[in-house]
Structure 1
Amino acid sequence: MNKQELLNIIKTKITDKIRNFEHLIAETRASSNDTKSSMGDKYETGREMLQQEINNLQRQLNESLNQLSVIQKISTEPSDKVQNGALVKTDKGTFYIAASVGEIMSGNQKVMAISAESPLAKAMLGKKSEEEFTINNIHQKIINIW
């Protein structure tokens, strides 16, 4: 499996998310400007709700920007143990420890992209091929690490 290809897919997903959040924030700000009126207090509540939505979108945008920052530091060099940037095949699935973007496809292979901060990644960190670990009462064996 090509780690560089997986990393590029993840970068694209995160970049798309960032663009989407920026677009949503711009649209929400525009609709907030539309509610400015001399009608009084009735519109203040609506504007406050829009501002809360903008704050929520801004928080999500910042999380995505942080993910992109982490991704840009990941090495695609082969690993002999589980660490950030490692591609890990267990008897239950294949995991790329990079950023939490969910399932991605590489050729016909499903890979779960997970954050190094996820409980699953933390359970695997530092382990080598043929070692085992348990999370949520599910026992897994590491088959290969790239």
Structure 2
Amino acid sequence: MNKSEILKIVQEKLSEKIATLERMIAETRASNNETKSSMGDKYETTREMVQQEINNLQIQLNENVRAKNSLTFVNTNLHQTIGLGSLVQTDKGFFYIAVSLGEIIFNEKKIFVISTESPLGKVLFNKNKGDEISLNNTKQIIKNLW
């Protein structure tokens, strides 16, 4: 498994999310400006709701930018124990330890991109090939580690 290619996919997905959020913020700001100029003061509540939406989008944008920046610390070398940058195969699936992103497809395989702070990431951290883990009463055996 080529972890450098997986990391590149993760970076591209985050870049797409960032671009989408930036576009949504710009569009929402534009609609807020139109509201200000054409509706008058009696629609103050609507403007406040639009501003709250902008704030929510900004929070999501900041989280995604932080996640993308954190990828610079991901080690793509072969790992002996599970940590940031590990690709793990258990009897339940493939997991890439980097950031919380969800599922990606690589070489026709589903890989779940999880952070070290996720419940599964915490359980996997510092484990080795052959170890058994348990999360939510579900046992998994670590079959492979890259």
Give the TM-score range, shorter chain: over 0.9
Segments of structure 1 that go 5 or more residues without pairing to the other structure are: none
Per the normalisation by structure 2, the TM-score is: 0.96
**DSSP-derived class of the 1:44 partner:** helix
51-60 vs 37-46, which moves further: 37-46
Deviates more, 1:38-47 or 1:13-22: 38-47
User: 2:39 & 2:138 partners in 1: Cα distance?
Assistant: 59
In the aligned structure 2, how far is the partner of 1:40 from the partner of 1:104? 46
Instruction: Report matched runs for 1:1-146 at 5 Å.
Output: 1-37=1-37, 39-146=39-146
Distance 2:84 2:37 in 1: 51
Q: Secondary structure at the match of 2:36?
A: coil
Q: How many residues are paired up? A: 146
Deviation at 1:40, TM superposition (A): 4.2
Give the TM-score normalised by the residue count of structure 1: 0.96
Offset, 1:41 = 3.8
Query: Structure 2: where are the runs of 5+ without partners?
Result: none
1:42 shift after superposition = 2.6
Residue type of the partner of 1:67? A
Bigger proportion of residues as helix: 2
Higher mean alpha-carbon deviation, 105-114 vs 27-36, is at 105-114
Deviation of 1:100 after TM superposition, in Å, equals: 1.4
Structure 1 stretches of 4+ with a deviation exceeding 6 A read: none
RMSD: 1.1
Looking at structure 2, the residues matched to 37 and 84 of structure 1 have their Cα atoms a distance apart, in angstroms, of 49
